[in-house]
A and B are shown apart, each in its own frame.
Chain A
């Protein structure tokens, strides 16, 4: 599948009907999601024929992208059932087989969950400090090969240090920096918060 085609498919996905701020729910835009996943496949071969977990999958954008790029098995985890219902609808529309589990992502580190590649757009930890690093810690426990994740560029040094020194990542690399357009999803958003710099990371285990 070509990048343009992937972006177009993702652009048609249904997103959060009533986003919950306490979970920092905001959609992963088609532009970002398509580039993130396309790069994971074309530069690193981490998607096609692999097993993939999407942590905090929300409406399933990254998992759906993985499926469209030929992943053999995709599982999405989220605690919000409304988001999972939407994700399932998205899969049904595209005739994609993806499994979903409603759970607290933090609890997954204790399980037998094991996949080749983890993809995620975690909460940035602006509402609950450290939420992003909790996701990364879990991702490093369940991935056998690589993790693709988005983190605020302002936390770059912290993410790198924590991943390599505390969480056991073998490598931690920023693939590119991008602008995350949050749109005015929530009423409290002030103008300057609409567009933030975000890094696409690739971690290996």
Chain B
């Protein structure tokens, strides 16, 4: 799974009010090149919860994203390339996603997070 996916996932255990963003515990990462598409990045940007994204990227070892962003940055090629790399090219292959409220872990194996809840969590 990539950080665009992480930016949309949350913990939906019954009673949890703040299940986003999920923490990340990294065991294994992979990087794969994806064709650079500025138009898609500009299109996706308004939906990104930036703080969660930037912090998740840091956890994955990407430290060159700014803490604060504004739409004008989307004209900057250098920024777009960094955004592109963090959003679409880094895969969390093995590790855990962690609910920020309860600490419940959702394991990620072979790149697939298991977000299934137990009966008593629904």
Chain A residues near B (Cβ < 8 Å): 49, 51, 72-73, 75, 79, 81, 84-85, 88, 97, 99-104, 107, 110-114
Contact of A101 among B12, B39, B110, B112 (CB under 8 A): B112
Closest to B10 in A: A111
**B8:A81 contact, CB within 8 angstroms:** no
B34 / chain A contacts, CB cutoff of 8 Å: 97
Contact of B116 among A88, A104, A111 (CB under 8 A): A104
A81 / chain B contacts, CB cutoff of 8 Å: 112, 114
Closest to A112 in B: B8
Q: Which of B78-109 contact A (CB under 8 A)?
A: 88
A85 to chain B, nearest CB (A): 7
- Given contacts A75-B5, A97-B34, whether A112 and B10 have CB atoms under 8 Å apart is yes
Closest to B33 in A: A97
**B114:A102 contact, CB within 8 angstroms:** yes
- Given contacts A49-B39, A75-B5, A97-B34, whether A103 and B10 have CB atoms under 8 Å apart is no
How far does the alpha carbon of A86 sit from the alpha carbon of B36 in the complex, in Å?
28
Q: Mostly helix, strand, loop or mixed at chain A's interface? A: mixed
Extra 13 A-B pairs, beta carbons < 8 Å, given A99-B2, A112-B49? A49-B40, A49-B43, A73-B4, A81-B114, A85-B110, A100-B1, A100-B112, A101-B113, A102-B115, A103-B114, A103-B115, A107-B122, A114-B47
**B12:A107 contact, CB within 8 angstroms:** yes
B7 / chain A contacts, CB cutoff of 8 Å: 112
B1 / chain A contacts, CB cutoff of 8 Å: 99-101
A44 to chain B, nearest CB (A): 17
Q: Is B37 an interface residue (CB 8 A)?
A: yes
Q: Is B9 an interface residue (CB 8 A)?
A: yes
Q: Which of B8, B20, B43, B117 neighbours the largest number of chain A CB atoms within 10 Å of its CB?
A: B8
A197 to chain B, nearest CB (A): 34
Closest to B87 in A: A73
- Given contacts A111-B12, A113-B8, whether A72 and B117 have CB atoms under 8 Å apart is no
Q: Which of B1-59 contact A (CB under 8 A)?
A: 1-2, 4-5, 7-10, 12, 20, 32, 34, 37, 39-40, 43-44, 47, 49
Closest 4 CB pairs of A and B: A103-B115, A72-B40, A99-B5, A102-B114
